[in-house]
Structure 1
Amino acid sequence: MDNHLNEEKKYEIKYSKTEYNQMIEVISEAESSNNLVFFIGAGVSISQGYPNWNEYVDKLIKYWTFHLEDLIDEEITTEKEVQRQDMLVLDQLLENRMDKKRKVDLVHHMIRKYTKISGDKVGSTKRFNENVLNFERFYFKDLPVCIEKNEILFHLLNLNATYITTNYDLEIENHFQKYAKKDIEILKDLSEVSSNLKANSVIHLHGSPDGNPDYFISSASSYTNLYYPNDENREVLRNFKQIIQDKSDPKIIFIGCSMEEDEVLSILRLAHDVEKDQRKEMQYYALLKYDNHLNPQIKEPHHSHFEDYMQTVKGVTVVWYGDEFSDLPKFCERLVTDVSLKREDNISNPESDWRILNGE
């Protein structure tokens, strides 16, 4: 045990110590009851060379500027050659200040133009679906990463949990296969949701390169269908709702998420079932970077105000993992160590055994 204690002191918890200790208790209990959910955002994958959202859209536009020709089949497609003005349209789109999600809509509309088959609506749709994720397959699946081992994922996968991600890359499942050696269930998009998910599951909330293009969330219209559905397209929301409702008391930990997108928080609220959730203790934690570069006079009030806002308005407890992104892998290592220690203490604690036997 002394060796474990020495190990855990390698990384010091600088901020949010009370919230951190409470989170360790929550994670330990949630892991043992299949209620632990890690919500993985883009910040986790950036160290391996993957883009943030803005970079993704820019690279998508650049890719299709020079790959429209790949969509043409002179025997069947309406377009027989790439029009120069269409390349210029994409060039201009790159510089335009419109919403990034709307830019994706316009790129997809250009792809539809070059996959259209005269007089064949079904064939046109099929050809579009076969090609619309060409860039994503190349960039997020086929292109080798800069760094093979993601230290954040390497540590987190020691815990039994459901891993929900908005990322298009396949690094969570890759790390499961390379390092964790666990039996896992992979949902490439929300069309594949089924009941009774395994304890170790990877769910691509926004889809993946090998998933169903209809469930790939990147454009303004696809975001609307997922996060603000009307009566005609509630299937995606129902599928996500099932993931949350299958857990008795979900505990969700956001990692690598800026928490600036209200869509993510809105879908978690929409996934609630009012009657069922009255008997649940759903809790949310967000691991965020402490801004230690602010003016000393406002640094603490700023963070305190933000914490209070997130807790009061969003229902999320903020835990500051450090003041540099490089602190996050070390924080995750410490977190996993402390949860493991807590697990060992619970196993060796007679009072805990008595409570388990008595169903408490």
Structure 2
Amino acid sequence: MKVMKDQNKISELNPYSFDLSAIYRKSNTIFHAIQSNNLVFFVGSGVSKAYNPDIPNWSELLNSLLSEVNISNEEKKEEIIYLIKKGKFSIAAEAIKKYSILDNANKDLAIDRIIGSIIEKRLKSKNSNDLLHLAILDFGVPIITTNYDPIFEDIINKQNINRFKKTPITYTDENQAEEILLPQNLKENYIFKIHGTINQSQRLIIDESDYLDFYFYEKWPRTLRLLRHIFATKMVIFIGFSISDPELLLLLRESIKYSSSYQHIAIMHEDNITEIENELLKSNYRIEPILYKDHSHLPLLILETRNMFPKESLPLSLTQNAFELRKGLKYIKKQSFFVPESTIILFGSFAKYGVLSTKNSDLDLLIISNENYIDKPFIRIQNKETNNRQFDIVIITRTDFELGLKVGDPFICSVLTTGCPIEDSSDIFGTLARGFRPNYNYESVKNRIYQNLITIWLRLCVYKNSDNIIELYQAYHRFCLSAMQLFLIEDFYSIESVLSLSLLGNSRFTLYEFDKHFKIKNKFFFSNIIKVSKREINIREFPISSPFVIFSNLFFSVNNHLNKEKLGFLQPSKYILKSNIDYLVEEYNNIKNNLDNLSQEILVKHGDYGETTYVENELLTSFNDFITIENDSISICDYLFFFNLHNRLKSINSFNIYKFINTEDIKEIMEDLISNWEIEINNWTQQCL
């Protein structure tokens, strides 16, 4: 097994830099297992390695043990080294015990003490990172392990995690195993160390005789029955475990005869499994391998899995950031926009990935307000009171939040599933997270997403004519995300649960599904938009000359899959080119106040978050009232033309405050814009072809 060479790699990871599609494929199954209390983790030495690379795996432990004992027969010693190299660990351990010369009359206890001493020395190394263990513990489900080390117990006690028993169960704890097996037993989380632990006085299961006593002769039948019961009735996620122990494989094979509908998952390093083994695990043991390339990726895989069901408190992996959050919240709660007793939710990349999110990423907060009207639904704060960390705050009424859930708004569903309540004194968020049961239909979800898309497009038009390039690219990102969501719903993407719509709020997942459904050839383009909006790459590395580039790439992606009528919003009409200039000037004069008000409202109040506003609805009504020309009605693409015109006129006014702009001036500018507009349409047509 490869060892993580540099623990700092964990904190340098970017969640948007590699593929997590294998986890997404199992998302619904994992969600249902969690909801029904049927998820269990089985962790091996790879998890301890992720905590501290000095912790020995099987071969390292036996080699260390061999160096600690005295074996006078060199031939036998060489043979033991050969057995370790061949992976015959229990036989090698048996041989070490048999041929070693020890002062203690009880060789079993002497060997166990030496092993305990080796592990304890390695644990004293300061090169440790508890992120993976915290991510696993945060699921609040039982954990089985073959590891002897006390890392889980130490973290539980250090962090004062009260959702687990303080003392682990081992193979000798027959009474506790029987209690867990009782049908009336309440759900209680435990660490089940099936081969023993160095922190307790009982023997470790380490050599061939020990394995035979437990697995074959069944000297501890109730703990073995608990293990069989878990394999047969639960969904087990194996992590950092090679699944090569013949005894465990036999138990797994046996459990298939009685197994439930759950298929197990093994998250494994790609170097630890061959294609043949991969196929055999699926066919013979009902285990679906999910492979990763580097041990530093493992925490992210587990964190992403954890993001598939709601949290009722701050994740354990974020406890080290609690002080920073509390300091920022203390300042925010003093501001005039904050209403007492409001619910505060941490969402976005930092809530999902913590220290793995992009360095210095913004902290996104959703405030569910008790008031019925929100004057300013988006606020950005960054000062010394927030440790110069940027807080992006979205404020929404409780009514609008609940309505968003009912109609299947992907953003609201995503906040419910992946958000972390920081303050929820009225239990608004907690009640919804525990008890909301959706009854979605495609039309209502589609209408909601389309409404979001139009609203984002209006705001994108504002940013296109402002100096805020970062906000423009984030609007590009959100527009692409909404368009992809809409196309997936049109293609009957499953909307059976909050999770399915929540995942559509995840850019990476939506792009994965979009590619899977439509086999797109320009995935790189959309991936880069996500990366720019997340500040992973510089805007200069991926310039977008015009919003029409966004339209043409989206149109090109789905043109051969969906009815042309469903793509109308991506196609610029001939409305501008066919209309009489006098008529266009008249229409502009009718809406220019709304354009002005909208620009002010978005740039000062909203950002690109928040519900569709009154000003936006007024403007959309005005656009929809435009007279059609030869059956060619105005497209949302055409809205940009009027924003461009408005911005050009404002620029002239700001440059020369004494100049009065008359109708003829507007016509002259409009003629120039129409020429440019025709070029844009021709470029769009060429790109789509």
Normalised TM-score (structure 2): 0.38
Aligned match of 1:101 in 90, 111, 133?
A: 90
Task: Please state if 1:204 is matched with 2:207.
Answer: no
The correspondence of residues 35-74 of structure 1 with structure 2, limited to 5 A, is 35-47=38-50, 48=52, 49-65=54-70
Which residue matches 2:208?
220
Which structure has more RCO (C-alpha within 8 Å, separation ≥ 6)? 1
Task: Please state if 1:31 is matched with 2:34.
Answer: yes
Q: Describe the superposition over 1:313-345 as per-residue Cα deviations: whole angstroms up to 9, x where unpaired.
A: 22111122x321211122222222233478945
Which residue matches 1:21?
24
Q: Describe the superposition over 1:5-28 as per-residue Cα deviations: whole angstroms up to 9, x where unpaired.
A: xxxx8345626x2x5234332333
User: How far does residue 268 in structure 1 lie from its aligned partner after superposition?
Assistant: 3.1
Q: Describe the superposition over 1:34-62 as per-residue Cα deviations: whole angstroms up to 9, x where unpaired.
A: 32110001111124111111111111111
The correspondence of residues 94-243 of structure 1 with structure 2, limited to 5 A, is 96=80, 97-98=82-83, 99-110=88-99, 114-116=103-105, 127-128=106-107, 130-141=109-120, 143-179=123-159, 181-185=161-165, 186-193=167-174, 194=176, 195-197=178-180, 199-211=188-200, 213-214=202-203, 216-227=204-215, 229=216, 233-243=217-227
Normalised TM-score (structure 1): 0.69
Which residue matches 1:334?
304
- Matched residue count: 294
CA contact (8 A) 2:169 2:193 kept: yes
User: How far does residue 90 in structure 1 lie from its aligned partner after superposition?
Assistant: 6.8
What is the distance in 2 between the residues matched to 1:166 and 1:250?
Answer: 18
Q: 1:39 to 1:338 in 2, by over 3 A?
A: same
What is the distance in 2 between the residues matched to 1:52 and 1:317?
Answer: 23
CA contact (8 A) 1:190 1:207 kept: yes
CA contact (8 A) 2:97 2:108 kept: no
What is the distance in 1 between the residues matched to 2:146 and 2:163?
Answer: 22
What is the distance in 2 between the residues matched to 1:266 and 1:343?
Answer: 42
Q: Describe the superposition over 1:209-261 as per-residue Cα deviations: whole angstroms up to 9, x where unpaired.
A: 234544x221122223333x1xxx21335422224537994110000012333
Greater C-alpha Rg: 2
CA contact (8 A) 2:146 2:195 kept: yes
Task: Please state if 1:252 is matched with 2:252.
Answer: no
Where does structure 2 lack aligned partners over 5 or more consecutive residues? 1-13, 181-186, 312-413, 418-432, 440-495, 497-689
Where does structure 1 lack aligned partners over 5 or more consecutive residues? 1-8, 66-86, 117-126, 292-301, 356-360
Amino acid at match of 1:235: K
CA contact (8 A) 2:61 2:115 kept: no
The alignment yields a C-alpha RMSD, in angstroms, of 3.5
What is the distance in 2 between the residues matched to 1:337 and 1:165?
Answer: 23
Q: Secondary structure at the match of 2:65?
A: helix
Q: 1:199 to 1:35 in 2, by over 3 A?
A: farther
CA contact (8 A) 1:285 1:319 kept: yes
CA contact (8 A) 2:256 2:285 kept: no
Q: 1:220 to 1:55 in 2, by over 3 A?
A: same
User: How far does residue 191 in structure 1 lie from its aligned partner after superposition?
Assistant: 0.8
What is the distance in 2 between the residues matched to 1:145 and 1:174?
Answer: 15
CA contact (8 A) 1:311 1:317 kept: yes
Aligned match of 1:309 in 245, 262, 280?
A: 280
Amino acid at match of 2:296: S
Q: 1:54 to 1:243 in 2, by over 3 A?
A: closer
What is the distance in 2 between the residues matched to 1:30 and 1:234?
Answer: 29
What is the distance in 2 between the residues matched to 1:12 and 1:172?
Answer: 29
What is the distance in 2 between the residues matched to 1:235 and 1:11?
Answer: 49
What is the distance in 2 between the residues matched to 1:252 and 1:347?
Answer: 23
Amino acid at match of 1:208: T
Q: Describe the superposition over 1:276-295 as per-residue Cα deviations: whole angstroms up to 9, x where unpaired.
A: x36x334210012346xxxx
What is the distance in 2 between the residues matched to 1:273 and 1:319?
Answer: 20
Aligned match of 1:264 in 248, 251, 254?
A: 248
